[in-house]
């Protein structure tokens, strides 16, 4: 089973805890992530988290800031990082995150009060990159940089930039074989 790490606010929503447990969503303290990995579980972490989901745009610039917790988890658990990228992910649902007021509210209150629109039936393809192996001689900043570069490489290779909802919709009807 692959566990997913979710933002703290999700666990505060009434009635969601049982649903999150059923779907393998973790609260995400580093210690719990390390424990799950050491027990042979997979853990999916999105370093950009809610901030990237709400405030990113069709340019596909990574919005990670200085987040390195995921790298510390991998080092502590002595496991590789497997970079992943989903093509057209920002075309499926759009946000009004470019409006400064919503960003200000999020940064001050940590509440994701940003209107969403879309739910467009675009073509999604998830690409898995080469694992970044555990190396006892690498520090957190270096590992984080390697992971960022690996994901940026996947974006550069598989995403047409700027992203476009119409183009992503039309990809549903392409008949050519997908690339590896």
DSSP 85-153: EEETHHHHEEE-TTSHHHHHHHHHH------EEE---PPPEEEE---B---TT--HHHHHHHHHHHHHH
pLDDT at 132: 98
Reported confidence tier of residue 33, pLDDT bands at 50, 70, 90 = very high
Consecutive H or E run containing 72: helix 69-77
If we measure between CA atoms, which residue out of 20, 35, 22, 15 comes closest to residue 77? 35
Cα–Cα dist 147/132, whole Å: 7
pLDDT at 108: 95
Mean pLDDT score, 153-173:
96
Reported confidence tier of residue 8, pLDDT bands at 50, 70, 90 = confident
| β-bridge mates for residue 95, sequence order | 116
pLDDT at 1: 82
Give the 3-state secondary structure of residue 166: helix
Q: What is the mean pLDDT of the chain?
A: 94
pLDDT at 179: 65
pLDDT at 178: 62
If we measure between CA atoms, which residue out of 24, 33, 27, 28 comes closest to residue 73? 33
pLDDT at 175: 77
Mean pLDDT score, 42-53:
94
Contact 44, 3 (CB under 8 A): yes
User: Above 70 in pLDDT, residue 164?
Assistant: yes
Please tell me whether the overall predicted TM-score, pTM, comes out greater than 0.75 for this model: yes
| Token duo for residue 170 | 């039309």
Cα–Cα dist 13/33, whole Å: 22
User: Above 90 in pLDDT, residue 170?
Assistant: yes
User: Above 70 in pLDDT, residue 180?
Assistant: no
- The proportion of the chain whose per-residue pLDDT surpasses 90, expressed as a percent, equals 86
Mean pLDDT score, 72-98:
97
pLDDT at 150: 98
Strand pairing category for 116-118 and 93-95: antiparallel
If we measure between CA atoms, which residue out of 76, 82, 66 comes closest to residue 141? 66
Reported confidence tier of residue 174, pLDDT bands at 50, 70, 90 = confident
User: Above 90 in pLDDT, residue 177?
Assistant: no
């Amino acid at each position: 089973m692959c566990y997913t790490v979710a933002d703290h606010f999700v666990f505060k929503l009434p009635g969601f805890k049982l649903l999150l447990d059923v779907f393998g969503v973790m609260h995400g303290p580093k210690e719990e992530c390390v424990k799950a990995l050491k027990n042979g579980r997979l853990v999916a972490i999105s370093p950009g988290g809610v901030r990237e989901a709400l405030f990113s745009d069709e340019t596909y610039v990574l919005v990670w800031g200085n987040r390195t917790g995921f790298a510390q988890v991998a080092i502590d658990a002595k496991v590789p990082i497997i970079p992943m990228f989903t093509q057209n992910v920002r075309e499926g649902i759009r946000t009004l995150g470019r409006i400064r007021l919503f960003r200000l509210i999020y940064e001050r209150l940590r509440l994701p009060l940003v209107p969403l629109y879309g739910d467009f039936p675009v073509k999604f393809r998830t690409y898995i990159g080469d694992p970044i192996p555990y190396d006892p001689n690498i520090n957190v900043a270096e590992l984080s940089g390697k992971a960022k570069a690996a994901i940026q490489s996947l974006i550069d290779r598989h995403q047409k930039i700027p992203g476009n909802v119409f183009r992503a919709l039309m990809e549903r009807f392409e008949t050519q074989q997908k690339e590896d």
